[in-house]
Structure 1
């Protein structure tokens, strides 16, 4: 997706229509809840449980969150015979997964095999060890890698769940790497004639939510397809769902988690008993500005790609209150982002033109790095984190009004220009003046860069030498990733440090049980995804590692719940 703003002379009406769709979907999704709540008082009680009248609802497994990991765990539990209830605090299912391209880093799976991609858990293990090393216990790494391929096979037994391979390179040049990538994606999902209430309640794409527009008509694609497929599979397995229901706290009896306290959309408190256990898969804490400042030393929460109002660390805080150990709290799935006039930012990748400079007017990294690595380069340079050391994306006039890269929310040049976030000048010297940069430094940077473009070799940062770099490059010179910046007018667009979500949280074991500091498990409590300290440690091995690992450990949690039952 490149620049350009959606044109909608009736945007207000469309937004109202979207809200009405969400309300209709919510009523349909909750239509059977009264019956289940009425049954709670007569549900069988395990030894030691509080009287039935103490609870407002009862299930075997309570899943908090509705992203790819949460719904995979919920589907597995329901398909294996457990009464499963999913609670989601926002008006839509899907969390950040719904915004994503839904690449799933699940090595050695049938979708790869169908596409002729040779891969295995052992090959992936060599790569994963080379990248992650000892940053995470090997047993946890192995649980992920050994379950990844079989999970896809398991899911595809359901008629609603279908995956396909698409090329997208692994992110590190390490042993076991596959240059064409090993990620698989959900197949697009056609909506049935007349619609479906669950599919109507899937979170819209990021650009639609930002512009308060309804979700597009037609098939669900990418992350929305994954969420839609999992919801249909969950429904077919007998699982229940409830929107606008926020976790308040967990209920513990005799050292075991037996349920949760939630708040519904009317602000009423409800107690839900979970006879077998609770799975926390509600994302990270990227939406909580206070926690971002405390744990990461960042300015706030405006520049994350997490949906507004979601992922505020509710599940993490509830687990910590019960003594859960934590790790990697300073970590995120980092990415460069384009700063928007309203103070938010949007994930950007695939930079096919231009270069970045910091407040010195000089380049500081290979702009074609995988996005997490580019985010870490921003961190290392202490650049793009606030106004003290601004980062600008410099490119020339050959691209017209477009940005020479992919931005997941379209950027409107007129609005950006008015806000001072897109600046233009006839010469680089004049552009430097508008940016408050040293003109001699900026012009020298451009001259050196253009020399590299002519030779095809970036002697400073090696841009264009890696298969990931070249995956996006479309230049016509000797190095497709190096396009000279020489044709006026010249442009600068503000870049900031963003993220796709935090990746620090509670520590878990190989069955996704939440651990205390002494290594013992909190019985009845499980976690997956960004609510946990990631199995990838402070690294991002390949496209789809966040969602893929969340799905694996949620699946393993459900299997453990069934074994315990």
Structure 2
């Protein structure tokens, strides 16, 4: 049966499946090119994992960075990506990302007044010591956003379970300084500024959000004004193909019915990864990472990846994830450990009471080392000095750790290291010797075992009052230990795509009419992580690229110019 003879319940030019940053950017790009565009979302809330994230974008040479004097030679960006990606990603795909990212950001500035960003000053690339790396970083984040601008849609965004209480709102740049509120004048000034600003917002009845909530809100408002509809509670049930194997549409359940939606120009898969699928985790992820300690959207069960495979798509990088050291709170919420791993009077040990890597290293690198070495369980050990100076797990100095943390065994507390080791179930002599060795490194300011504090990335969240901002002696009772897990922000593996975001077969041939972006696609970052925002940045860029390709922007339009 030809496409024209099939019975369709709805016809559009571009069908976008998923409402995270990648999907909404694709929808925006489609609408800008004149396509009749529809976004469908499985959940009853929009935003996906983006709404739960820091909302940062790693896009070199964005106009924000250029104005800050942080422009790059694209060749340097490519060298940096080559240094971390190796040969796991085709050169054409890397080039498309480097070239089209600035074009997308320029279009935002020129045509989308709600999409505004600022530089995350000094937030280093994750491997700044590599050729082409930048210690000052290339990350930008969205400006704070008033959710009231969205009207009723403001209540339909996926809420962040780790939201800051009391109406406070802060950017990631501000959080870095607030983290040192008991240590630096910059931290105290930031606290005063954030507090005053938050009070003013409450008095004016504004619903201010930052991070991923702000990014999703800004994208949603832009789509509202572009007239792009968004269907919630509308899961994908499968793709529709013609006799040649081209994707012509999809079956979507909505309003209690299965609807056949024709997509004349293409279907963009932006359904996230498979981190919440127990079956797929067990099938694909490497040993040590199969258990589910994910902070990704609870709706990310691999639907788009499975649907793509059913029409012949190839997959890659399925054994890897955007790993994140984490712990699960007694209420079930996953808390990710980013800044905490740079707390100076702390160290992380395994089941033998031994350190095994640089605690302050990029989180994907940390968990790669954890999994590769079979380190399980892993304990975050710190002293009362750390407790009195730095926040941990959202608990500020002066606040008590929740009693449930101790009652459930998540956290241990002891008057001596020997008692702490017993509660942790590790050899006491081993733990004591490791802390003695660590304290010697702290006094010297040099970690001779793992180089903690050598990288600008390590030092970003450290204490600037110390010679080595990430190291101080663990020597003041009581002592604490928190059990950590090999968590993740989402999976890295997915549908193989070319430089136009077209989904490809194992032969390398694109499947006509099918595109993918974000964690539904195999990551352009390969097995590593370039910098903060290197998940959302590529998701948005390849959503942009794919939608414009579907609209006929041209298969070789990767020069960076907005046509």
Deviation digits for residues 47-77 of structure 1 (CA, Å, limit 9, x no counterpart): 942447x222221110000111111100000
**Equivalent in the alignment of 2:336:** 347
Residues 1:542 and 2:536 aligned together: no
Equivalent position of 2:354 in the other structure: 362
Give the direction of change, closer, same or farther, for the CA distance of 1:301–1:238 in structure 2 (3 Å limit). farther
Shift of 1:342: 4.7
Q: How many Å separate the matches in 1 of 2:327 and 2:24?
A: 31
Aligned equivalent of 2:194: none
Q: CA deviation at 1:545?
A: 0.9
User: Shift of residue 197 of structure 1?
Assistant: 2.4
CA, structure 1 residues 116+71, in 2 after alignment: closer, same or farther (shift >3 Å)? same
Q: Deviations over 1:114-150 (max 9, x none)?
A: 2232324232112112221222111111111111111
Deviation at 1:476, TM superposition (A): 3.9
Q: Distance between the aligned counterparts of 1:181 and 1:60, measured in 2?
A: 38
Q: Which moved more, 1:154-163 or 1:545-554?
A: 154-163
| Residue 294 in structure 1 maps to residue 286 in structure 2 | no
- The aligned counterpart of 2:223 is 234
* TM-score, with structure 2 as normaliser: 0.86
- Corresponding residue for 1:533? 522
Structure 1 residue 300 displacement after superposition: 4.9
Corresponding residue SS for 1:545: coil
Q: What is the CA–CA distance in structure 1 between the aligned matches of 2:268 and 2:489, rounded to whole Å?
A: 22
The answer on whether the counterparts of 2:25 and 2:540 sit within 8 Å (CA) in structure 1 is: yes
Q: What is residue 159 of structure 1 aligned with on the other side?
A: 113
TM-score scaled to structure 1, two decimals?
0.85
Q: What whole-Å deviation, never above 9, does each CA across 1:133-189 have from its counterpart, x for those lacking one?
A: 222111111111111111100122212211211121001121111101011111122
Q: How many residues align?
A: 505
| TM-aligned CA deviation for residue 297 of structure 1 | 4.2
Deviation at 1:219, TM superposition (A): 1.7
Q: Paired residue for 1:121?
A: 74
From 39, 44, 49, the equivalent of 2:3 is: 49
Aligned equivalent of 2:157:
202
Corresponding residue of 1:169: 124
2:136 to 167, 180, 186: 180
Residue in 2 that maps onto 1:395: 382
Are 2:351 and 1:380 aligned? no
Q: Please give the alpha-carbon distance, in whole angstroms, between the structure 1 residues aligned to 2:446 and 2:268.
A: 50
Alpha-carbon distance, 1:202 to partner: 1.6
Instruction: Provide the secondary structure at the position in 1 that maps to 2:309.
Output: helix
Deviations 1:207-226 (A, max 9, x none): 2599xxxxx96222111111
Tell me whether 1:417 sits opposite 2:406 in the alignment: yes
Partner of 1:94: 47
Residue of structure 2 equivalent to 1:250: 239
Q: Which moved more, 1:448-457 or 1:473-482?
A: 473-482
String of CA shifts for 1:258-312, please: whole Å, max 9, x gaps. Answer: 1111122x5432221111110001110001011001101457553001122x110
For 1:134-149, list aligned pairs within 5 A: 134-149=87-102
State the SS of the aligned residue for 1:180. coil
Partners of 2:102 and 2:510 lie apart in 1 by 27
Match of 2:308 in 1: 319
Aligned equivalents of 2:257, 2:494: Cα separation in 1: 28
Q: Deviations over 1:352-384 (max 9, x none)?
A: 13100100011111110011111111112212x
Instruction: Indicate if the aligned counterparts of 2:161 and 2:333 stay in contact, CA closer than 8 A.
Output: no
Contact 1:347 1:407 in 2 (8 A): no
Deviation for aligned residue 1:229? 1.2
Q: Which runs of 5+ in 1 are unaligned?
A: 1-46, 211-215, 384-388
The answer for the alignment partner of 2:187 in structure 1 is none
Q: CA deviation at 1:192?
A: 4.1
Residues 392-413 of structure 1 deviation map (CA, whole Å, 9 limit, x = unaligned): 1000012447875466999953
Q: CA deviation at 1:520?
A: 1.0
CA distance in structure 1 between the aligned counterparts of 2:354 and 2:410, rounded to whole angstroms: 19
Q: Deviations over 1:185-210 (max 9, x none)?
A: 111222446x5123322211132599
* 2:326 aligns with one of 318, 337, 348: 337
Instruction: Assess, with a 3 A threshold, how the Cα gap between structure 1 residues 459 and 395 changes in structure 2: closer, same or farther.
Output: same
The answer to whether the Cα contact below 8 Å between 1:329 and 1:505 also exists between their aligned partners in 2 is yes
- The 5-angstrom pairing of residues 241-280 of structure 1 reads 241-254=230-243, 255-264=245-254, 266-280=255-269
8 Å CA contact retained: 2:142, 2:211: yes
1:231 is displaced (CA, Å) by 1.3
User: For structure 2, which runs of at least 5 residues remain unmatched after alignment?
Assistant: 166-201, 555-563
Deviation at 1:422, TM superposition (A): 0.6
Q: Against the structure 1 CA distance between its residues 390 and 416, is the aligned structure 2 distance closer, same or farther, given a 3 Å change threshold?
A: same
Consecutive aligned runs of 4 or more in structure 1 exceeding 4 Å deviation: 297-301, 401-412
CA gap 1:408/1:497 in 2 versus in 1, 3 angstroms? farther
1-structure distance, mates of 2:57, 2:87: 23
Q: CA deviation at 1:86?
A: 0.3
Choose which of 77, 83, 86 in structure 2 pairs with 1:130: 83
- Structure 1 distance, partners of 2:363, 2:356, is 15
d(CA) in 2 for partners of 1:154, 1:502: 29
Out of 502, 507, 512, the residue aligned to residue 513 of structure 1 is 502
Whole-angstrom distance in 1 between the partners of 2:161 and 2:95? 33
Report whether the alignment pairs 1:303 with 2:258. Answer: no
Distance 1:345 1:80, change over 3 A: same
Deviation of 1:477 (Å): 3.6
Kept after mapping to 2: 8 A contact 1:303/1:344: no
CA deviation vs aligned residue, 1:390-443 (integer Å, no higher than 9, x gap): 111000012447875466999953111110111000000011111111111111
The answer to whether the 8 A contact 2:271-2:520 is kept is yes
